[in-house]
Structure 1
C-alpha cells in the first residue's frame, strides 16, 4: 500500500519539533514523492499543462483548504501564480513550501526564477548559489545564474557561465540565443550572430532567434533567410510566440529590401498576435496622466521644498522608446563622470508600491519622502560598477513618474528624449519588446500614448520649469555638437571631447539600439515611416495636434 503523504508530513512535523531535522527532511521529501499519484494533483497538473488555469486554480484552492500543508500543491499554486505574472504571490507560496520542506530543491529553483522575474537579481543569485553548492553542474541553475549576472551587468562572468553550460549541453537553442544576447550587449557582434546562427541550425522554427538577428538593426537577411522564415511560418504546429517573432523579423527583412507593403503586413500580423497576449487599455494611461496633473501642482512642490534625498547621482533619460534615449545615454556615458547602467525597474516598482498602499503620497512625511529617495539609491547600487559620481537610469516609461522623481530626488537630472511623432510611434509599432510596452501593438494606441506623454511633460514644464532638459532627436542629428554641449551644460558637466566621439566608447549597451550607437550619428533613422505612410491614418488621427505642432506642443512651446 502506498505511503500516505499526510501521515508522512505529520510525522515530519513531529520530528522537526523534536529537533531531528535530517529525519524530518527525508520524510518531507518522501511525502512530496508520494503525492505523484494523487488524483487531485494529477487533475491540477493536467489543467496547468493544457493552459486551463481557471480549473487548475479551483482544484488547487480546494485541496489547500482541505490540507494546507500539501507542499506539492503549494508549489503547483505558485506555478499558477507565476503564469499569471503574480510574482509576489508565487514568491510567498514558494517560501511557504520551503518552510514546510527546506530540502525541496524544485521549489528553491522556482523561487530563484520568481526573484529574477521581479528584477531582484541579487536575491536570485543567493538562492542559485545555494542550489549550485549542492548540485554544481546543474545546467538549468547555471543558465539562470548567467541570466541574472547579465541583469546586474556582470557580463564577463555571465559569458563564462553560458560557455560552461553550452559545453555540457550544446544542443540547447534557447541557451545559444541567450548567449548571443549577452555577446551583443558587450559589442561582440560577429560572435553574437554566430551564436544566433547556431540556435537556428538546431531549431529553424525558433522565431525569437530570427527576431534577435533582426533586432541587431544592422543585420541584413539574405534570400535563404527569408525563405527559411517563410517556410517556418507556413509549417504546422508553430506556437504563437514563434509566429509573432517570425512576423516581426520578416517585416524587418522586407523593409530593408524596400518592400513596404508586405513588410507592413508582417508587422501588422505580429502586432495583432501580441496585442491579444498583452491587452492595453488607453483609458488607464489617460487616468494616470490626469492623476499626476492633479497631484503635482506648484503648490504641492512648494509645500515640500527641501524634502527628499539630496543626492545628485541619478540622471534619468526618459520619453518614448525608440526616440534616441540609448544614443543620449551613450553620449553621457562617454563622459568621465557618468556611468551608464540600463533601463532600471526601480522607480515604477516604488510607484506601484505607493499606489497599492493604504496611505496616499500626499500624506507622506518629509522622512517618508527622503526614505524613498534613499531606497532608490540603495536598490540601484548593484548596477554601479565604477566610482563615477553620476549614473544613468534610462527607462523610457519613467516619463509617467517625473513628479515622483523630483519629489524624492530633487537634485536628480532629467532628460526627455523626443523624436518626431511618426518616426517614434512607427518605430515602436515595428519593434517587438520582450516585456512591457503593451501600448505599442496598435497604431492608434501608440499614437494616443505619445500624445499623453507630451501632455504630461508639458504640464511639468509649467509646474517645475527647467527641471527637464529636452533633446529633440532631429536637432541632435542636424547639429550634433551644439546639442551635446547644451546637454552637458544642462547636466552641469564640463565639456569633454569624448562625448562627441561617443561611438568609440567601449561599454555594455543593453537595448535594441546597441549596434546603432556604436556608429557615428547618421540620418538613416529620421523618417522611417515614409514608405509606410499609406497605412498610418489611425496613427495620425490618434496623434492629432501633437503631430502638426511638433517639435512644439499644443498650447505651449516645447
Structure 2
C-alpha cells in the first residue's frame, strides 16, 4: 500500500467515525440512548487522528453516562498532536469526575518537573488534595501556583474555600493587593474572585462588605445567563399535574427491581452532604456523591415528562422501567464498581422523583429540610460549579425555593410513606437519634461511630467539603440572621412579605 493510499484510507475511516458521531446525536434526539451508545462505540473502534473530534465524543459519552467511553475519548484527545497541557487537563478532569483522581495524579507524577510545577497542574493537584480533606497540602499547592504565575482569580477562589481569613490576616492582605490587578479578568474568573473576597470578609465578620462582593460575583454570572421564572413555574406545574398516583398507576411496574442507591434529596446547603457522609461511613455503603446518572438512564422518556414516559412504554420494550433501572445500575457500576450500595445525592432529584418512585421502588429516599433563610443565604454565598441560574439573586432564590416547597408538598402528600424527611436542625442537635432513623429507613444494620463520619478520608467534591470534615455541630443554625438586613428580596418572593 502506498503512502497516499494509507492517507486516503485514514481519511475514509475518519469520515465514517464522524458519521457515527452525527448518528449518535440523531438517535439521542429520538430518545434512543442505547442506539447512541452503539454509534459512539463504533466511532471509538474506528479511530481518528483529530483531537477535537475525541473531545466531542467524550462530551457525548458523558451526556449519556458512558463514563468509560468518555474517559477513553478524553485520553485520546490528550494524546493527539499537538500535545498540549490543556488537553491533558481535560483528560484529568474527566478522570476526576469519574472518581479516578488517583490515575490522574499518578500520570502527573510521571511527568517532567516543568509540567508538574505548572500553575494549572498545581491548581489541579490542590483541588484533589482539598477533596480528600488534606487542606494544608491544598493550601501549599495553591500558594505555589500563585507564585508560579497562575490564573490568580481562579487560584484565589480555590484558596478561599480551604482558608479561614480570620486566622490568616496576611492572606487577606495579599488578596487585597491582588485585587488591584483584576480589572482584566473575564466574567467567569472575575466572578470567582468576587466570591473569594466575599468569603474573606465573611470570615472577618464584615458582613456588609461580604454581601457587596457576593452580589458583584452573582451579577457577573447573571450577565451570561438568567433564571427563567415562567419556564420553571410551568415545569413544576406540569410535574404536579401529571405525576399523580392515578397517572403513575398506568405505568407498567418494573419486572427487575434494583436496590442500587440511597437517594438523598434536598436543596443545596440543606444538609445533604452531611447525610451522605454519615451513610457512606457505614460498612454496607461504598461511596456516594452528586452522581448525575439517573438523567442519562431516563433519556428514552424524551424530556422526563409523563407524556414521554407513556410514549417510551408503548415503544415495544417488554420491561421499560426495569430497563431504565438496569441502565442506571450499569452506569453506577462503571462509576463505583459492581453491586455496591451508593448514596446518590444528585441535585434536584425532586424533578425526577416520579421516576425514582416508579422505576426504583426499592431504593430508600431521604429528603433534607432546613430553615429557608439559612438555605437561601448559603446558596447565595456559594459559587456552584454547575450553572444554577436561580442562585444568582436572592429574589430568584426565593422564587425557586417556593416552587421546591410545592414539589416537596406534592411528593410528600402522595408518596410520603416512601420518603423519610430529615430536618437539618434536629439532625445536628441530636445526631444519634437521626442516624438511627436513617439506618432503619435505609435498611442498614446498626453501626457505632457514624456520628464521627467527619473523620472519613473519602473524597468530597461539593461546596460543603470543608464543613463535613468537622464534627457535627449546631453552630451553623441561624447564620442568615447576620445578613437579615440584606435579605428583603428573598423574603418578598418566598414569603410575600
Coarse TM-score class (shorter-chain normalised): 0.7 to 0.9
1:428 counterpart (353, 370, 379): 379
User: C-alpha offsets along residues 359-399 of structure 1, whole Å, 9 cap, x if unaligned?
Assistant: 621344372222111111112211214754x2111112111
Contact 1:25 1:103 in 2 (8 A): no
Kindly name which structure, 1 or 2, has the bigger radius of gyration based on alpha carbons. 1
User: C-alpha offsets along residues 246-265 of structure 1, whole Å, 9 cap, x if unaligned?
Assistant: 11000010011110111100
Alpha-carbon shift at residue 25 of structure 1 (Å): 5.6
Structure 1 residues 195 and 179 mapped into 2: Cα distance closer, same or farther (>3 Å)? same
1:237 equivalent to 2:221? Answer no
Structure 2 stretches lacking a partner, 5+ long: 23-32
1:372 counterpart (324, 332, 342): 324
1:384 equivalent to 2:329? Answer no
1:338 counterpart (280, 285, 291): 285
Aligned-partner Cα distance in 1 for 2:355–2:261: 14
2:345 counterpart (388, 391, 394): 394
Contact 2:153 2:189 in 1 (8 A): yes
Structure 1 residues 136 and 238 mapped into 2: Cα distance closer, same or farther (>3 Å)? closer
SS of structure 2 residue aligned to 1:341: strand
Counterpart of 2:49?
Answer: 104
1:301 equivalent to 2:248? Answer yes
SS of structure 2 residue aligned to 1:465: helix
Alpha-carbon shift at residue 290 of structure 1 (Å): 0.9
Alpha-carbon shift at residue 161 of structure 1 (Å): 2.1
Counterpart of 2:131?
Answer: 185
2:272 counterpart (310, 315, 325): 325
SS of structure 1 residue aligned to 2:417: coil
SS of structure 2 residue aligned to 1:391: strand
Counterpart of 1:261?
Answer: 208
Structure 1 stretches lacking a partner, 5+ long: 1-14, 33-68, 78-87, 548-558
Contact 1:475 1:483 in 2 (8 A): yes
Aligned-partner Cα distance in 2 for 1:300–1:26: 53
Counterpart of 2:310?
Answer: 362
Q: Report which stretch shifted further, 324-333 or 154-163.
A: 154-163
1:199 equivalent to 2:145? Answer yes
1:535 counterpart (483, 486, 492): 486
Q: Which runs of structure 2 are paired with 1:67-86 in the superposition (5 Å)?
A: none
Contact 2:395 2:493 in 1 (8 A): yes
User: C-alpha offsets along residues 383-432 of structure 1, whole Å, 9 cap, x if unaligned?
Assistant: 214754x2111112111111111111111111111111011111000100
Aligned-partner Cα distance in 1 for 2:256–2:429: 38
1:418 equivalent to 2:365? Answer no
1:114 counterpart (38, 59, 76): 59
Aligned-partner Cα distance in 1 for 2:386–2:208: 27
Q: Which runs of structure 2 are paired with 1:57-68 in the superposition (5 Å)?
A: none
Counterpart of 2:29?
Answer: none
Alpha-carbon shift at residue 174 of structure 1 (Å): 2.4
Contact 2:165 2:172 in 1 (8 A): no
Alpha-carbon shift at residue 170 of structure 1 (Å): 4.2
Structure 1 residues 28 and 227 mapped into 2: Cα distance closer, same or farther (>3 Å)? farther
Aligned-partner Cα distance in 1 for 2:413–2:442: 20
SS of structure 2 residue aligned to 1:396: coil
The structure whose RCO (Cα within 8 Å, separation 6+) is larger is 2
Alpha-carbon shift at residue 103 of structure 1 (Å): 4.6
Aligned-partner Cα distance in 2 for 1:487–1:398: 19
Aligned-partner Cα distance in 1 for 2:304–2:339: 35
> What is the RMSD computed on CA atoms of the aligned residues?
3.5
SS of structure 1 residue aligned to 2:263: strand
Contact 2:452 2:471 in 1 (8 A): yes
SS of structure 1 residue aligned to 2:287: strand
Structure 1 residues 257 and 384 mapped into 2: Cα distance closer, same or farther (>3 Å)? same
With normalisation by structure 2, the TM-score equals: 0.85
Q: Which runs of structure 2 are paired with 1:24-103 in the superposition (5 Å)?
A: 24=8, 103=48
Structure 1 residues 333 and 323 mapped into 2: Cα distance closer, same or farther (>3 Å)? same
1:481 counterpart (420, 425, 432): 432
Aligned-partner Cα distance in 2 for 1:113–1:522: 42
User: C-alpha offsets along residues 450-480 of structure 1, whole Å, 9 cap, x if unaligned?
Assistant: 1111111111111112111111110011111
1:23 equivalent to 2:23? Answer no
SS of structure 2 residue aligned to 1:169: helix
Aligned-partner Cα distance in 1 for 2:112–2:464: 27
1:406 equivalent to 2:353? Answer no
Aligned-partner Cα distance in 1 for 2:263–2:219: 32
User: C-alpha offsets along residues 45-82 of structure 1, whole Å, 9 cap, x if unaligned?
Assistant: xxxxxxxxxxxxxxxxxxxxxxxx9x99x9xx9xxxxx
